[in-house]
Amino acid sequence: MADRDQRFTGRPILVSGAGRGLGEGIARHLAGEGAIVGVADINRESAEHVAAAIREGGGRAYAYGGDLGRRQEFFDVAEAFAGTAGPLRAVINNASVLVYEPIECVTEETLDRMLSAGLKSVFWGVQAFLAYRDQTATGNILNYSSPVAYRGRPHTGAYTTIKAGIAGLTRVLAGELGPEDIRVNAIAPGSVPTPATEGFVSAEQYEQRARAIPLRRNGTPRDVAQAVAFLLSDEAEFINGAMLAVDGGIIAAG
């Protein structure tokens, strides 16, 4: 078995929404395990910052800016990354827009923006991966769902709809793409404080969440990154169509 610390040596892995938060944590972690990481984000400056930090740490990373909710822009990013790093071994569909608000406050503009970033980008990410994947190796597609896909939380109507849709799409793709030697799985991260959630969840609310989580703590970007690395690794070679809860027991406890 390969060195556990270098499970992805030389493998090009494209991560959407990797300019900050969980996407950044995953990009850094995979690079630390030897992956060549494509850091894609709508904010090119943020993507450049993450990629530069990875390179300064001795890893390999390339930054790309683009609205990944637009099909051609996702394809452009995948083509550029594959042209530089080689055919893709995996894509991680992490990009999203987070807005919590009562259902009567959801506007057409907000819903369009959330659907584009959080759901349409998954379709385009899958298509771009199929176009630029390494045909000689097992492919991996990893999507992001959420505990809200299983539990009804007030003021998360748009976000829950998107994450529930991703859960269903993951199951469909596992059956559809499995015969092509492509594994499709999803993770459902629980309460994880990141810069992306600062405007929606206060420190006090995170403390309340921690008290309600069976493990009595919030998650960390490292918790999520380690779970992602496992699902992408050869150690998970017979796992397909799974939804891995990385939530300290939120879904299980109900």
pLDDT for 203 equals 87
pLDDT for 1 equals 33
- The predicted-structure confidence for 66-113, as pLDDT tens digits, reads as follows 999 999 999 999 999 999 999 999 999 999 999 999 999 999 999 999
| Six token digits for residue 232 | 């992408």
Distances (CA, A) of 132 to 10, 74, 84, 240: 16, 11, 12, 21
CATH 3.10.110.10 fits 4-253, yes or no: no
Distances (CA, A) of 95 to 47, 98, 117, 226, 231: 12, 10, 6, 18, 18
pLDDT for 24 equals 97
**Does residue 242 contact residue 171 with C-beta atoms inside 8 Å?**
no
147 three-class SS: helix
Per-residue pLDDT of the chain (254 residues; tens, 9 = 90+): 344 579 999 999 999 999 999 999 999 999 999 999 999 999 999 999 999 999 999 999 999 999 999 999 999 999 999 999 999 999 999 999 999 999 999 999 999 999 999 999 999 999 999 999 999 999 999 999 999 999 888 999 999 999 999 999 999 999 999 999 999 999 999 988 887 777 778 888 899 999 999 999 999 999 999 999 999 999 999 999 999 999 999 999 87
Q: Which helix (H) or strand (E) holds 184?
A: strand 182-189
C-alpha dihedral, 50 to 167 to 149 to 161, nearest 10°: 90
pLDDT for 130 equals 98
Whether 100 is a known active-site residue: answer: no
| Six token digits for residue 62 | 């390339």
**Does residue 190 contact residue 214 with C-beta atoms inside 8 Å?**
no
Rounded Cα distance, 31 and 35, in Å? 5
The residues near 77 (Cβ < 8 Å, ≥ 6 apart) are 14, 38, 40, 64, 66, 68, 128
Rounded Cα distance, 47 and 57, in Å? 16
pLDDT for 174 equals 98
Residue 3 half-sphere exposure, CB side, CA atoms within 13 Å? 6
- The predicted-structure confidence for 40-68, as pLDDT tens digits, reads as follows 999 999 999 999 999 999 999 999 999 99
- The three-state DSSP-derived secondary structure of 69-126 is CCHHHHHHHHHHHHHHHCCECEEEECCCCCCCCCHHHCCHHHHHHHHHHHHHHHHHHH
Tokens 């989580």 sit at which residue?
A: 213
pLDDT for 178 equals 98
Catalytic pick among 62, 64, 144, 159: 159
